[in-house]
Structure 1
Amino acid sequence: MALGLLAGALAVALCAVLVERFVLHAEWWQVRHTVTRQPVAPQIDVGPPPGPLAPGWEQTTRIHRESAAGYDGVAFAVARGQVVTASGGGLDVRDARDGAERWSYRRTGWTLLGWTSTRSRLVAYFERDGRRGDRLLVGFDELSGAQLWRREAERPAAVSRATLRWPAGAGVVLTTDDGRRTLYGVSALTGRRLWRTPLPKGCRLYEGAAQPSDALDPADARTAAGGPDPGDALAALAAGCSGRDGRLLAVDPGHGRVLWSRTLAKGESPEVRVLDGAVLVADGTALRAFTAGGDQIARWDGDLVCGDQMCPAVRAGGRLLIVRHKDGKGAGTDRMEAVDVPSGRVEWSRDVPGYAALAQAGGTVYALRPRLSDQLLPAGVDTVDPGDGRASTVPVPFAMDPDLRGARPWLAAAGGLLYTAVAEAAPRPEGAARLVALRGAADGPGPAELGGVPVRDWPDACALLKKADLAAVHADDHRMRSARTSVGGVTLPHPVSCTYETTWNEPPGHGTPGKQPGKQPGKARPSGGADPSKSPSGKPGATGAKAGTSPTPHASGGTRSAKPGKPGEAVPEQAFRGLTVSVRWVAETRAEAERMLDALQEVQSQARERPDIPADRAYELGPTAGMIALLVDRAVVVVDVDQPPGAAARLARSVVERLRARAQGA
């Protein structure tokens, strides 16, 4: 009986081990892995020519929200004729020319928290959901997707939350121990450890920073046209050191040698960027540029010189082009400077409109601007000559909000295409990252700065509402302000935004007309009126009422402006404080205009279709019903009313009527 019980216990234990290994942790049901045998042609180092841009192909990747907070973004890279998309859900690799699927890798119950590549090898880092101690590195052939090796319990060195990448070069990926005090070199081909390098005493690699490391591999990097060969592979990592300042370490990834070390400010999470022959580091006190040999060639002091993320920068034509906040101030006062490498001489400098990302190919620099103009809806791309800073501007077929989570604005150029990625709020609530491959397009009848649309096609925003329309919502007592705009050297002849401001009603004898005790008169909005790409985006404090205004109580149906009444007579309350009509875009075709309206609602935290408004399409944006975006023929127009909500829909119908009448008259 004792032997039987012992045999039974052994059988149960054996079954438990077999189930754990071959069922619960089995690869056959956890892994979804596709590979390809199709060759792919490498792309030449050139982007699209200056001029109009049109969409080539697109890809949308949903945000993967898991337990590892901060690593739930989506990152992209273009290399060897492929586009790599890395997200918490896994890897997706496509043909860079047409977006055709090549290979992919996903693991059920695991989250991808990092990836890197070197010499046609790609390595991904996964952690098990809910058990972060279960770690796994998987190596792939970058072109076919074939799995080369797996290694458990290995930890990558200094993963960037912004790009999900960690340093690699010369066929070696960098890893670290649990204490982050030692660097290891792991072969990207076999997964075996090749070398070990302790960090300086008392120093640890930063973890969870936006971009605490970067690397350059000459086999992967494209040498700038006319520039020097980047030389050997280089990895740069920031480390925090107890009791003293931090350190920036330049490491030879092939052999593990520390090439040089520089002191950083204490207590900050530095951001590091490695470009061809240059290393940038922002440590919260200054932005500094070093050569590959460690010589400092430039410094910009200020704790806000780069803002909340690393300054956009590229290397082109022997120059390091950097976009920084001007005089340490906030966005909107940015400046682009061209620094000669290695002399450090500033060759030119000019004000720029707050570029979100830079890319270079074939000696041409491309810059992504979040807005084509303060008054207009689309994002834009500037083509910059690195020799003198001259730039030309064109719109792109999407809108963007740089503050949305999920994907940091990204730009790359290769094979005559320009690749750009931005975050979207849709699908809600998690959102997605949208990648668009842009190609050169034919010139239209109008200026390229306006997407080829003649300036005569733009309606006058102040002609879209008449006195009767305003009186119908009790806004006949108002002040009107208009705003015009220009793109590059093109100025639109009519106002693109018209704001009607009203004053508060109050009982007779309580201050001057138009003022309420203890309150300012109705403040003017920004000259562009409502900003539908920002105010309802879901950021804290964003509501239907705009910044600088107070929520206004209103009687049912609203009233006209107050006039002196009889003693004891109730004083009616003001129906609203102001409204704005903005012509946000006029496209060359109806299909392009519809695409732009879709792009607008996709960057909003809340958007509801309004089929009761007789436009071609209409959306209600934001948490209240005071902002409505309209598509009428080729125009995208936004009507924004503080309150009551019903006034926005009524005025939107009037705007639709005026636009249709204008189209028929044309």
Structure 2
Amino acid sequence: MQAQYAEGGGAVVVASRQRPGGRPESVGGVRVALGLVSGAVAIALCAVLVDRFVLGAEWWQVRHTVTAEPVTPQSETGPPPGPLAVSWEQTTRTHHGAVAGHDGVAYAVAQGQVVTASGHGLDVRDARTGAPRWSYRRSGWTLLGWASTRSRLVAHFQRDGDRTDRLLVAFDALSGGLLWRREGERPAAVSRATLRWPAGSDVLLTTDEPRRTLFGVSAVSGKRVWRLALPRGCRLFEGGARPSDGRESLAALALECAGGDRHSRLLAVAPATGSVRWNRPLGSPESPEVSMLDGVTLASDGTALRAFDDRGGAFAEWKGDGVCGDAMCQAVLTAGRLMIVYHPDGERRSVTRMEARRVPSGKVEWERDVPAYAALAQAGGRVFALRPRLSERLLPAGVDIVEPGGGTITTAPAPFALNTDLPGARPWLAAAGGLLYAGVPQAAPRPDGAARLVALRGGLTGAGPAELDGVPAGDWPDACSLLEKADLAAAHMAGHVAEPVRANAGTVRLPRAVSCTYKPSKGKPSKGEPKDPEGKRRNPPEPGPTGSPGSASPSSSASATPSATGPAGTAGPVGTTGPDTAVGSITVSVRWVARTDHAASRMLDALQATQAQARRRRDIRADEAYEIGPTAGMIALRVRRYVVVVEAERPAGAAARLARSIAYRLNNPS
């Protein structure tokens, strides 16, 4: 650049520097700038195309199977009273997604199919055989809810790590064929217990971000068909175990309302039109749990459980802050009777009552104390109730069949174990096509756990009562006969006193003790434990291992195991020094006697699958054995048809030693 200044007028003349060929330099700069802009546009366009056609493409992130096979509808009947056998089963692993509280597994039976919904996606099977029909999963996405209406099923997915990226996907319920996809819609009040949100009459209920407006979305096209503003000052609850429920003709949603008494409300809406059927106040500002039956709506808000008819009339109320415990009260509607299980107010928490009321009069027909049923189902005029234990001292869960007219009960063992304290799937029950479907939580596979779905049919009758799965009561051994004095002496428990405990299975009372607790006698040293010269008790040295498995009593053969090592991990005599010198109580329980060895093996496997910590033990000399819990204080073993549990925390290694003795006694009956 060159500048010339005029001396007289002060004018400034600026001239551009020329490139070879007479082309100004500024023209080249413009072209460079245009090139940079074009490159930036190309990069942005490539990023958009990659995001849409690669990162967001269905072909790599979606696993979708469909079917053209017809399905046979099921009759509304369950299995007959009596023993139960497994028809088929399925295990679904727990999915821990980015959204807390939505890691459960839920089930439903409809149209001859069983739907399994979890964070992984949808899995639909033939309800009669368990054969796969169709499924849908999205990699990098979590299923947070699902809804079904008529012949359509809709899933709600959220992209992992991005709460604003939501997607509704609709399917034909029978074939799994894709109907439509819609981005951005937010389902109304998804239940964390069932993962469902209300839908009916081919319309889904959704909401906006402030949760103050309801929308009806067509399950056929995915388009909005109506809009409903919620009452002033009210909005849908953000979360809750069961903040909503619905059926084809009616949906009930819990509302969080401001002002005045700030109590929650229950809003009933017709899904087809969006019209409000009724709006009722509840007794607490907390999020209630809502459950809908065919003609009855139940709401529990921590102050009471209330039952409403289809017009919103409250025809029954059970007061108390613990009337439903930690979950919604179990209830079914059959033959015009509402049968509900609850904890009566003012009585011990352990008391559970079943009550039958006429609808809509609310008249109590009968009531009786029952076990704390984990789930209820009804079909064919019968009510099926899942009890966590057949008996307090026995291993399997139980199924009660309740006669709605008078409350008479028949009981049968379930071929699985149930631990209601496990997270994930809540216990679930349904009946159709002569089968009973049960969903129960499992701790295995560890560490995340799973839900197990079991389809049960009527089993074969045996020589014994149905309450014992056909096994004669006389086949049960006496728990107090499984250990002899020599076995107790070898474990430094020769002076322990046996306390037998008997049990009932339904109406059947077992003739012998199913559990035996050995407690130290008071004020006297254990027999066989000599005193030292100063009068103090001391433990005799532990016998060394002798003999071979199955040839000698295990009371004289104790191998060094990880549970029988010192603090430094080296094997040594147990109970000679340190805290292991204390001798506590021990309990031996005959948890089950199965019809066959295979059935007993399945029962033991079911037991260990419900435990957070279980390790296989191959040194017990039983057919199978597991060490349960963080220490070696509990050993569960199987010998042939017998499942036995030994509990002895002190001294260390006592449970394993006594389990070997029991295995020897069962293998070598006198």
Same fold by TM-score greater than 0.5: yes
Give SS of 2:653's match: helix
CA–CA separation in structure 2 for the residues paired with 1:134 and 1:175: 15
Compute the displacement of 1:571 (Å): 12
5+ long unaligned stretches in structure 2: 1-31, 526-562, 564-571
Give SS of 1:558's match: coil
Counterpart residue number, 1:34: 65
Asked if structure 1 preserves the Cα contact closer than 8 Å seen for 2:574 and 2:652, the reply is no
Q: Deviations over 1:310-367 (max 9, x none)?
A: 0000001110000001335565310000010011100010110110000001111100
Compute the displacement of 1:481 (Å): 1.1
Give SS of 1:645's match: coil
Matched letter for residue 631 of structure 1: R
Matched letter for residue 345 of structure 1: K
Counterpart residue number, 1:534: none
Query: Which residues of 2 match residues 95-494 of structure 1 at below 5 A?
Result: 95-217=126-248, 233-243=249-259, 244-327=262-345, 332-494=350-512
Give SS of 2:345's match: helix
Q: Deviations over 1:284-330 (max 9, x none)?
A: 00001111111111111000000010000000111000000133556
CA–CA separation in structure 1 for the residues paired with 2:372 and 2:590: 23
Asked if structure 1 preserves the Cα contact closer than 8 Å seen for 2:116 and 2:122, the reply is yes
Asked if structure 1 preserves the Cα contact closer than 8 Å seen for 2:580 and 2:651, the reply is no
Query: TM-score if structure 1 supplies the norm length?
Result: 0.87
CA–CA separation in structure 2 for the residues paired with 1:328 and 1:53: 37
Asked if structure 2 preserves the Cα contact closer than 8 Å seen for 1:334 and 1:353, the reply is yes
Counterpart residue number, 2:610: 603
CA–CA separation in structure 1 for the residues paired with 2:453 and 2:490: 44
Query: Which residues of 2 match residues 567-582 of structure 1 at below 5 A?
Result: 574-582=581-589
Compute the displacement of 1:189 (Å): 0.9
CA–CA separation in structure 2 for the residues paired with 1:572 and 1:447: 47
Asked if structure 2 preserves the Cα contact closer than 8 Å seen for 1:210 and 1:271, the reply is yes
Asked if structure 2 preserves the Cα contact closer than 8 Å seen for 1:182 and 1:199, the reply is yes
CA–CA separation in structure 2 for the residues paired with 1:302 and 1:408: 23
Matched letter for residue 283 of structure 1: D
Asked if structure 2 preserves the Cα contact closer than 8 Å seen for 1:35 and 1:102, the reply is yes
Give SS of 1:10's match: helix
Q: Work out the number of aligned pairs and report it.
A: 592
CA–CA separation in structure 2 for the residues paired with 1:493 and 1:506: 32
Q: Does 1:649 align with 2:667?
A: no
Q: Deviations over 1:215-243 (max 9, x none)?
A: 112xxxxxxxxxxxxxxx01011111123
Matched letter for residue 420 of structure 1: A
Return the match for 1:619 from 626, 629, 636.
626
Compute the displacement of 1:574 (Å): 4.2
**TM-aligned CA distance change 1:506 to 1:476, over 3 Å:** closer
**TM-aligned CA distance change 1:241 to 1:572, over 3 Å:** closer
Asked if structure 2 preserves the Cα contact closer than 8 Å seen for 1:331 and 1:354, the reply is no
CA–CA separation in structure 2 for the residues paired with 1:578 and 1:609: 24
Q: Does 1:45 align with 2:76?
A: yes
Compute the displacement of 1:14 (Å): 1.2
CA–CA separation in structure 2 for the residues paired with 1:176 and 1:506: 73
Asked if structure 1 preserves the Cα contact closer than 8 Å seen for 2:103 and 2:118, the reply is yes
Return the match for 1:557 from 574, 577, 600.
574
Give SS of 1:8's match: helix
CA–CA separation in structure 1 for the residues paired with 2:523 and 2:182: 72
Give SS of 2:452's match: strand
Matched letter for residue 389 of structure 2: R
5+ long unaligned stretches in structure 1: 218-232, 508-543, 545-554, 560-569
Q: Does 1:71 align with 2:89?
A: no
Give SS of 2:165's match: strand
Matched letter for residue 196 of structure 1: R
Q: Greater CA deviation, 261-270 or 355-364?
A: 261-270
Matched letter for residue 660 of structure 2: R
Identical aligned residues as a percent: 67
Matched letter for residue 240 of structure 1: E
Asked if structure 2 preserves the Cα contact closer than 8 Å seen for 1:505 and 1:573, the reply is no
Asked if structure 2 preserves the Cα contact closer than 8 Å seen for 1:305 and 1:328, the reply is no
Q: Deviations over 1:386-431 (max 9, x none)?
A: 1111110000110010110110000000000000000000000000
Asked if structure 2 preserves the Cα contact closer than 8 Å seen for 1:380 and 1:395, the reply is yes
Compute the displacement of 1:27 (Å): 1.2
Asked if structure 1 preserves the Cα contact closer than 8 Å seen for 2:297 and 2:310, the reply is yes
CA–CA separation in structure 2 for the residues paired with 1:328 and 1:150: 52
Asked if structure 1 preserves the Cα contact closer than 8 Å seen for 2:105 and 2:424, the reply is yes
Return the match for 1:629 from 633, 636, 645.
636
**TM-aligned CA distance change 1:42 to 1:573, over 3 Å:** closer
Q: Does 1:13 align with 2:13?
A: no
CA–CA separation in structure 2 for the residues paired with 1:506 and 1:24: 76
CA–CA separation in structure 2 for the residues paired with 1:406 and 1:271: 18
Matched letter for residue 242 of structure 1: A
Give SS of 2:297's match: strand
Asked if structure 2 preserves the Cα contact closer than 8 Å seen for 1:57 and 1:98, the reply is yes
Matched letter for residue 586 of structure 1: V
Asked if structure 1 preserves the Cα contact closer than 8 Å seen for 2:284 and 2:303, the reply is no
Query: TM-score if structure 2 supplies the norm length?
Result: 0.86
CA–CA separation in structure 2 for the residues paired with 1:302 and 1:174: 32
CA–CA separation in structure 1 for the residues paired with 2:35 and 2:271: 58
Q: Does 1:593 align with 2:595?
A: no
Asked if structure 2 preserves the Cα contact closer than 8 Å seen for 1:53 and 1:396, the reply is yes
Q: Greater CA deviation, 417-426 or 22-31?
A: 22-31
Compute the displacement of 1:493 (Å): 0.6
Compute the displacement of 1:505 (Å): 9.2
Return the match for 2:121 from 76, 86, 90.
90
Larger-gyration structure (1/2): 2
CA–CA separation in structure 1 for the residues paired with 2:173 and 2:582: 62
Matched letter for residue 140 of structure 1: F
Asked if structure 1 preserves the Cα contact closer than 8 Å seen for 2:264 and 2:287, the reply is no
Matched letter for residue 161 of structure 1: R
Asked if structure 2 preserves the Cα contact closer than 8 Å seen for 1:307 and 1:330, the reply is no
**TM-aligned CA distance change 1:571 to 1:149, over 3 Å:** closer
Give SS of 1:303's match: coil
**TM-aligned CA distance change 1:17 to 1:330, over 3 Å:** farther
CA–CA separation in structure 2 for the residues paired with 1:589 and 1:404: 29
